[in-house]
Amino acid sequence: MIGRGRPHLSVGDDDVVLITGATSGIGAGLAARFHARGAHVVITGRDLERLSAMAAEHPGMTPIVMDVRDPESVRRAMDDIAASIPHLTTLINNAGVQRPQDFSTQERPAIADIADEIATNFTGLVDVTSAALPLLRLAPRARVMHVGSGLGFVPLTGAPVYSATKAAVHSFTVSLRHQLRRTAVQVVELVPPVVDTPLHRSMKSAPPMAMPLEKFLDATMAGLDSGRDEIAIGLGRVSIIGSRLAPSILLGLINRDGPPR
C-alpha cells in the first residue's frame, strides 16, 4: 500500500545495483543517481556500444550485455555478474517498450511486435527477478524495484499490450512481495506518470503533461529513501486512486485525446 515503508536502505561502497534497460530514459537516470551516491552500478541492455559509452561517462559502472527477452542471455549475464560481485543489494527492472496497436482495423497487428512487447515488459522482468534473487538473498538487506506504470491501473487503449503488461507487472509485484515478506528482500513497485523519455520516441513531441525526467528521478529517489513499498508519482498516483474510485471516468479522461502517448 502507498505509504507503507521499511527502514531506509542506505547506499554505500558495498552496494551493488543492477538495472535493466539502463542506456536511456529512466534506467540511465537511475543509474547515474545511484552511481553518484557511491554504489557499484551494473548497467545492462542489448547494445554493447551504448553500454560502453555510458560506462566511460561514469567510471566505475559495469556494462553487461543482457537481452531480457532471451532466457539464455539472462542466464549468461547473471553468471557473469555472480562471478564478479559478492551480492546484489538492488535490482531495478526497468526495460520496457511501448507500441501503438489497433485491433479494430482490418490489418492484424504484427504478432512479432506483440510477442516482443510482452517479453520485454513482463516475461523478461519475471525471468531477471528469478535469476537475481539468489544474489539478492546474499545481502543483509536488499530490494527489487519493478518499474510499472499508471497505465497498469487505467489503460491507454491505443497501447493495449503495453497497458496489459504493466497490469501484469503490478499483479506479479504484489504476489512477489507477499512471498518474500519474511525475507530481507523488499519488493517495490514504482508507478510513474508519463515521463519525458525516449519511450515515446515515435511521437513528434513530448506527450502532453509529461513530467521532466530529472523531476521524476528526484521523486523516485526520495521514495526509495523513505522505504516505501509503492512509489506512485504524480499522475501515476492519480491513476491508482482513480482506478478504485471512478474507473470509467478516468478511462475516458486518459483516452479522450485518441492517439497513444
Distance separating alpha carbons of residues 210 and 18, to the nearest angstrom: 26
pLDDT reading at 27 higher than 50 = yes
Q: Which residues contact 141 (CB under 8 A, 6 or more apart)?
A: 9, 89, 184, 186
| Active-site residue, from 34, 122, 153, 162 | 162
Q: What pTM does this model have?
A: 0.88
Kindly report which listed range (72-81, 114-123, 198-207) carries the lowest average pLDDT score: 198-207
pLDDT reading at 236 higher than 50 = yes
pLDDT reading at 206 higher than 60 = no
Average pLDDT across the chain, whole number: 90
In 7-89, beta strands by DSSP E: 16-19, 40-45, 62-65
Tell me the β-bridge partners of 40. Answer: 16
Residue bearing the bigger pLDDT, 98 or 10: 98
Distance separating alpha carbons of residues 87 and 14, to the nearest angstrom: 9
Closest CA to 31 of 227, 201, 232, 217: 217
pLDDT of 2 reads 38
Distance separating alpha carbons of residues 73 and 136, to the nearest angstrom: 19
Averaged pLDDT, 56-83: 97
- Name, of 2-16, 111-125, 192-206, the range with top average pLDDT: 111-125
pLDDT reading at 259 higher than 50 = no
Under the banding of pLDDT at 50, 70 and 90, the label for residue 109 is: very high
Angle between helices 25-36 and 213-226 (to 10 degrees): 60
pLDDT reading at 202 higher than 60 = no
- The string of pLDDT tens digits covering residues 44-61 is 999 999 999 999 999 999
pLDDT of 9 reads 58
Cβ–Cβ contacts within 10 Å for residue 142, how many?
A: 24
pLDDT of 245 reads 83
pLDDT of 209 reads 72
pLDDT of 241 reads 87
Distance separating alpha carbons of residues 51 and 59, to the nearest angstrom: 12
Distance separating alpha carbons of residues 138 and 115, to the nearest angstrom: 34
pLDDT of 63 reads 98
pLDDT of 11 reads 57
Averaged pLDDT, 189-205: 73
Distance separating alpha carbons of residues 74 and 95, to the nearest angstrom: 13
Sign of CA dihedral 33, 162, 150, 213: positive
pLDDT reading at 132 higher than 60 = yes
Q: Which residues contact 209 (CB under 8 A, 6 or more apart)?
A: 193, 194, 235
pLDDT of 205 reads 47
pLDDT of 244 reads 84
Under the banding of pLDDT at 50, 70 and 90, the label for residue 246 is: confident
Kindly report which listed range (86-95, 197-206, 225-234) carries the lowest average pLDDT score: 197-206
pLDDT of 196 reads 85
pLDDT of 203 reads 47
Q: How far is CA 72 from CA 16, 45, 124, 253, in A?
A: 23, 14, 11, 42
162 is catalytic: yes
How many distinct helices (H) and strands (E) make up the chain? 9, 7
